[in-house]
Structure 1
């Protein structure tokens, strides 16, 4: 089977949850928010191959959603983040109809605020695997799981181990495409330098993309709509088990974007998303960029 650009997106599993900030309330990064159209449109029965993918996100906001979901003013924060990912696609001879992708993901983060100096550094690296089948020729169903280790820079490290596990799915129709995931993030005890030990909450998230196929060879562009949602349960002090005030938060963001198909080996996606409701969180007000190239 010829491997085209539409088949490798699940290897680039938008993991901006990996680029978490030290203060959850300061973050504006729904887990897996960087996935875009055709993200999980994956092949089976292919020869082993490797690729490199780079994602980018810029989120600027001077607002904050309080515990009642009211939008208030806050200090200015500019967050820019990237994900550099190396992916290896392989199969098992005895199971040619099962796809497998192995990944290593390095987050790069820039954070600028009005009240503090600008910071740039690396987040905690992730290693993971995704596997999938195709129930029908035009659909995909699979599971992905990642381990995040606290080896990033002190300021951007989460200071805990985490597991990201989710179900992925994709359906390709004549005129529409639908892709997405649903899953959770499960964390170990957090031990940040100079701070009390914390038992972080659990994150539940979903990311959905609905595209419309123009089916115009002279205009190789596909518009799509995006929905991202996550809910974080409250965190507790590890020793006393006391709930940390306002540590529970959620964010619902809607957006729209365009996919530009240059050729079978190159694709560019641009998207804008914005929060429509949140609690205890800075709103999503973000531009996303994804460029993919198959050597």
Structure 2
């Protein structure tokens, strides 16, 4: 079965906690917008090519997990995030069995709730990945993205961060697809005007998607429908005030969320499109908003 490319990776709420949102804010789970085939790539191409993707993600902050893991009323907020991604795929003549992808992702953020609102262009993520194919129907690779704190004042994280991860994608037959990502967010010092510097806590995350095609997914012309289920997890360590050495209250967090959705794949002779929609709900956690959101994405490959 011939594989086709997908995008380097989506980022849910890449801007992280915003200054206006307070300490118990919607940090989000990294890459919660993923779908089946997120990290499926081919090696049987001769010329570089590109893809462009657009994400629209809505989450409600009506409920939060408190320090004891209980669900309590939150700030009544709502967060909308758009993610525009541009990717370039290529190979090196000296390494024909290794594929390379460069990517740029620009977040567009709007958050509002009782007593606060914030909007603007968020911190971009730039980087790429490298991959190999252990078998004709599987993909294994490494990804590294850098979050650059140059977003709008209201939504920037004011923090440089490195997003390293490892991924695996495999087909079992021509219907079942497994997509797995394990990684982290390694944050530098947060520098915010008028406030003490903060030693921001790092994040560990894992994302799994399991999809099953309603019909055999073959790479010829046609429309393929792939329902899927997913599981996302994040754990963030405590943050410290660098001036006082004290721990920021409720700065450590964790959450596990489950999701269900469907991926539509439209295959043509030379190009194809993908459209995905899924719903995610937090099932347990601590010191973070309860994930309760709808995620959509559209991709065009050319």
TM-score, normalised with respect to structure 2: 0.91
Note the C-alpha offset of 1:219: 6.9
Structure 1: how far apart are the matches of 2:280 and 2:293? 5
Structure 1: how far apart are the matches of 2:153 and 2:171? 43
Note the C-alpha offset of 1:184: 0.8
Structure 1: how far apart are the matches of 2:145 and 2:92? 20
Cross-structure match for 1:225: 229
Secondary structure of 1:41's aligned partner: coil
Q: Kindly indicate whether residue 15 of structure 2 is the aligned counterpart of residue 19 of structure 1.
A: yes
Q: What is the 5 A alignment of 1:83-122?
A: 83-116=83-116, 118-122=117-121
Q: Kindly indicate whether residue 273 of structure 2 is the aligned counterpart of residue 266 of structure 1.
A: yes
Cross-structure match for 1:63: 63
Structure 2: how far apart are the matches of 1:84 and 1:95? 30
TM-score, normalised with respect to structure 1: 0.93
Note the C-alpha offset of 1:199: 0.1
Note the C-alpha offset of 1:21: 2.6
Q: What is the 5 A alignment of 1:1-295?
A: 6-9=4-7, 11=8, 13-22=9-18, 23=22, 25-46=24-45, 47-116=47-116, 118-174=117-173, 175-215=175-215, 220-264=224-268, 265-295=272-302
Q: How well do the aligned residues superpose, as a CA RMSD in angstroms?
A: 1.8
User: Where in structure 2 are there 5+ consecutive unaligned residues?
Assistant: none
User: Where in structure 1 are there 5+ consecutive unaligned residues?
Assistant: none
Secondary structure of 1:246's aligned partner: coil
Q: Deviations over 1:201-258 (max 9, x none)?
A: 0100000000112225887211100101000000011133221121100111001000
Note the C-alpha offset of 1:19: 2.4
Structure 1: how far apart are the matches of 2:216 and 2:89? 31
Structure 1: how far apart are the matches of 2:53 and 2:223? 24
Question: Post-superposition, which runs of at least 4 consecutive aligned residues in structure 1 deviate over 6 A?
Answer: none
- Larger mean CA deviation between 25-34 and 250-259 belongs to 25-34
- Larger mean CA deviation between 20-29 and 264-273 belongs to 20-29
Asked if the contact 2:158–2:192 (Cα under 8 Å) also holds between the matched residues in 1, the reply is: yes
Secondary structure of 1:19's aligned partner: coil
- Larger mean CA deviation between 252-261 and 15-24 belongs to 15-24
Note the C-alpha offset of 1:28: 4.6
- Larger mean CA deviation between 239-248 and 101-110 belongs to 239-248
Structure 2: how far apart are the matches of 1:158 and 1:270? 27
Q: Deviations over 1:76-135 (max 9, x none)?
A: 11101011111111111011110100011110001121322x432011111111000000
